[in-house]
Chains A and B, each alone.
Chain A
Amino acid sequence: QSVLTQPPSVSAAPGQKVTLSCSGSSSNIGSNYVSWYQQLPGTAPKLLISENNKRPSGIPDRFSGSKSGTSATLGITGLQTGDEADYYCETWDSSLSAAVFGGGTKLTVL
């Protein structure tokens, strides 16, 4: 059972917008930055968002991140079939003194 809670699956149509949620507590999301990763089948995770809302070079602005209280959200606009992947949130947990991941959300674009 993950410290951070993500919905197991989300689906949306091509071209639409989707939001993926990540819920935690005051000791993790509530007091630390959140990052987001995309994992395509059979590949290593790829950083999409760091420090709540910063996109690394090369990540399109279709991807956005936000945080409010003890929850964080990844937004994806203009959905493409190539966005079908597993998405994970990560943050630092100050009580555990450890990095923690959400259980991941499988995004289906249909």
Chain B
Amino acid sequence: QVQLQESGPGLVKPSETLSLTCTVSGGSIRNYYWSWIRQPPGKGLEWIGYIYYTGSTKYNPSLKSRVTISVDTSKNQFSLRLSSVTAADTAVYYCARGSIGYSDIWGQGTMVTVSS
């Protein structure tokens, strides 16, 4: 079955760029939307954005100026870059597969802490 796995640094310094990769196994990255969603400690879910396998993207307006999501179909991976991070970006980051308005398969999540 399809599985998603997030990878990347667990600690990022303020003002630097957070970079995460999601590796898709057990299925193709084609024909789906691939999202990043985050959850600050003790809080709710926040949609960051999605990329279609063709490269088309949509971002949360509140994060749009700092976010880039890209896809590498040859590696069955997609990635998140969030620039100029602050403590408010500390969260568990999830990658997920789905369509517009829902995600049916999620990664286990990776905790990213922004601290000097």
Contacts and interface: CB of A to CB of B under 8 A. Distances in A.
Contacts of A103: 44
Interface string A32-52: 111101000001111100110
Interface residues of A, number: 27
Nearest to B107: A44
A53 interface: no
Interface stretch (B14-22, B23-31, B71-79, B97-105): B97-105
A51 B99 CA distance: 10
Interface range on chain B (Cβ under 8 Å from partner): 20 to 34
A101 B102 contact: no
Contacts of B50: 99
Contacts, number: 63
A100 B107 CA distance: 19
Interface in A9-54: 32-35, 37, 43-47, 50-51
Nearest to B50: A99
Contacts of B44: 2, 88, 101-104
A50 B61 contact: no
Contacts of A90: 45, 47, 101-102
B58 A98 contact: yes
Q: What is the predominant secondary structure among interface residues of chain A facing chain B?
A: strand
A99 B47 contact: yes
A2 B47 CA distance: 11
A7 to B, nearest CB: 13
Given A46-B106, A102-B44, 12 more contacts: A35-B102, A44-B106, A45-B106, A47-B98, A50-B99, A56-B104, A90-B101, A97-B58, A98-B47, A98-B58, A99-B50, A101-B45
B94 A99 contact: no
Contacts of A44: 94, 106-109
Interface in B69-88: none
